[in-house]
């Protein structure tokens, strides 16, 4: 089934991994546990975690009981920040092809794309890892 709004696999892994790490409440979580938890590639997960570490959101702890921990509190990291750390800034664009010159289709889709990006910003911008965890805990009760 097709979806209009798609998030890259890397960004999806990043968001899910950050929630997984936040749930561990300060205990290191290793790459294999994260990858197994979401049934994704260890290698892809490791690359995504490296990006998040490079962006300063997590730190790697070495050793047999090592893994990744948050560098900030869960209520200080937004879903939008995680997304942008992986896929880059969410741009205000009118064109599916990201071109400066475009066909008349941009008139048809341009406003819709701006509105869709604004909605993503509206929902992902204020959504912190903690708020996601709070919703998850409410739903599992």
In the chain, where the domains are located: 9-139
Residue with tokens 């968001």: 15
Q: What fold is seen in the domain 9-139?
A: Arc Repressor Mutant, subunit A (1.10.10)
Alpha carbon distance 107, 96 (integer Å)? 11
What b/e string do you get for 12-21 counting C-beta neighbours within 10 Å, with b at 16 or more? bbbbbbbbbb
pLDDT tens, N- to C-terminus, the chain (141 residues):
666 677 899 999 999 999 999 999 999 999 999 999 999 999 999 999 999 999 999 999 999 899 999 999 999 999 999 999 999 988 766 565 555 566 555 566 667 777 888 888 898 999 999 999 998 766 554
């Amino acid at each position: 089934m097709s979806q209009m709004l798609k998030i890259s696999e890397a960004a999806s892994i990043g968001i899910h991994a950050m929630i997984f790490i936040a749930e561990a409440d300060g205990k290191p979580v290793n790459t294999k546990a994260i990858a197994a938890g979401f049934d994704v590639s260890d290698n892809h997960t490791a690359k995504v975690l490296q990006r998040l570490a490079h962006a300063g959101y997590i730190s790697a702890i070495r050793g047999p009981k090592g893994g990744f921990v948050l560098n900030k509190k869960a209520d200080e990291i937004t879903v939008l920040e995680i997304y942008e750390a992986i896929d880059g800034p969410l741009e205000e664009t009118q064109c599916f092809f990201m071109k400066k010159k475009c066909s008349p289709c941009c008139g048809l889709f341009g406003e819709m794309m701006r509105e869709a990006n604004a909605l993503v910003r509206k929902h992902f911008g204020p959504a912190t890892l903690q708020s996601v965890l709070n919703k998850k805990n409410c739903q599992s009760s």
